[in-house]
Amino acid sequence: MSLADLLPSMRSMVQSRLEENVWPGGTTVDERGELLVGGHRVTELAGRFGTPLQIVDLADVRRRCRAYRAALPGAEVAYASKAFLCRAVARLVDAEGLSLDVCSAGELAVARSVGFPGWRVLLHGNAKTPEDLKAALAHRVGRIVVDSLDEVDHVAALARDRQRVLVRVTPGVDGGTHAAVTTGVEDQKFGFPLSTGAAAAAVRHVLRQPSLRLVGLHTHLGSQLRRVADFELAARRLVALLAAVRDEHGLELPELNLGGGHAVPQLPGEDDFDLAGFAHRVRAAVHDECARHRLRPPRLTVEPGRALVASAGVTVYRVVAVKHAVRTFVAVDGGMSDNPRPALYGARYLVRMVGRPPAAPLRTATVVGRHCEAGDVIARDVPLPADVRAGDVLAVPGTGAYHHSLASNYNLVGRPPVVGVDNGAVQLLVRRETEEDLLRRDVG
């Protein structure tokens, strides 16, 4: 037991130790208490690029891509680009040999702009527009994941060559996560329910289309999923459907896509997703169920998004005001326009003051944004030095996924830039949005 453990007042002032799991790999604190991401002081990056600022450690993303490929040899790993997509990330994913999961013509346009091979692209979405489908077919995407009978008809009518498709199945598995990101249960908008026979009917409908080639089944249980057993159950249920397809149609489908949703820690003490356990147990479940049904094991695909980029991101804010009222409010120059996740999902974050040593013990504060909403809260009841003041710099880890991609222009605030750090190099990936950008679209 340390002296800081024995003396609460001393413990409250100890900040040099970096919280585990929630920062990009290689993040350090120097002798002056400065936070370094990818070898660069956060305060220097904030001074150079301004705040709010999103930093992404590309070396950390690369390491996670390689970890997935190593854990799942022979399987396809497709990056779920809705988590965070820009040209640099698309190039990185391509270089690492991953496939790319997109869900709009816009995301596909980014992939096309860097020459991402169409055959390694999967198109998702529950309401793909004609423009989405035409763009996908023009780029010759490898697979389209069909989500409704109407969509099957639309793809079949547009396809000139036989388009490879997967049928998205809802297996009736509840991943125990937030209701807004639970997609494995049957009472939600995605996929064809398994228990009602809708999935089997969708398979029949696809097989009747001469311009479509059914190559497999897909499922996605949700986001921030921690229980490997849920993936095992979903895999077994989908293999049983593969067997039913074989028995009814004489067709063994070669692909089984289990989606993504693998959880990442947002706060200190939370566990990482058990990737090794997932790889072993899900493969075993698939092979066991295939043996029971006398099926050849299909090729597996997984679609991590958050798991590859969330922990690689750090958002940097500057304190604008501190208000001591019923509680202490620390107001910063960003907010729900760059991070709506607390308002949408009740997401929680760690906040760390950087750039100067604190001169006071830690006290509970609530970090709030600049927007005209009482719900514009970045982090509620977090420990911050009691002497935090206007001009201080705050760093929030775990912001690499669903921050840039969910950002808005609420209150006509421009979206922040994204800076990539990569083994000592610094690169502006996405520039700051300006007032001129906002006015350019306003043509009335």
Residue 239 to residue 174: CA distance in whole angstroms: 18
The answer to whether 216 is annotated as binding is no
65, 103, 290, 372: which is the annotated catalytic residue?
372
Residue 304 to residue 72: CA distance in whole angstroms: 12
The answer to whether 345 is annotated as binding is yes
The answer to whether 304 is annotated as binding is yes
φ/ψ of 72, rounded to 5, equals -125, 60
Pairing type for strands 40-41 and 35-37 reads antiparallel
For residue 52, whether the previous peptide bond is cis, meaning omega lies within 30 degrees of 0, is yes
φ/ψ of 388, rounded to 5, equals -60, 140
Determine contact, residues 385/360, Cβ cutoff 8 Å: yes
Residue 339 to residue 347: CA distance in whole angstroms: 10
AA identity, residue 303: E
The answer to whether 327 is annotated as binding is no
The answer to whether 435 is annotated as binding is no
- If 0-12 CB within 10 Å is exposed, 13-18 middle and 19+ buried, where does residue 405 land? middle
Give the residue from 254, 239, 251 showing the smallest Cα distance to 298: 254
Half-sphere exposure of 235 (CA within 13 A, CB side): 30
Determine contact, residues 186/219, Cβ cutoff 8 Å: no
Two structure tokens written together for 41: 């002081």
The DSSP bridge partners found for residue 377 are 368
The answer to whether 303 is annotated as binding is yes
Active site residue 103: no
The answer to whether 236 is annotated as binding is no
Q: Show which residues are catalytic.
A: 372
Binding-site residue positions for substrate = 306, 341, 345, 373, 402
Binding-site residue positions = 261, 303-306, 341, 345, 373, 402
Binding-site residue positions for pyridoxal 5'-phosphate = 261, 303-306, 402
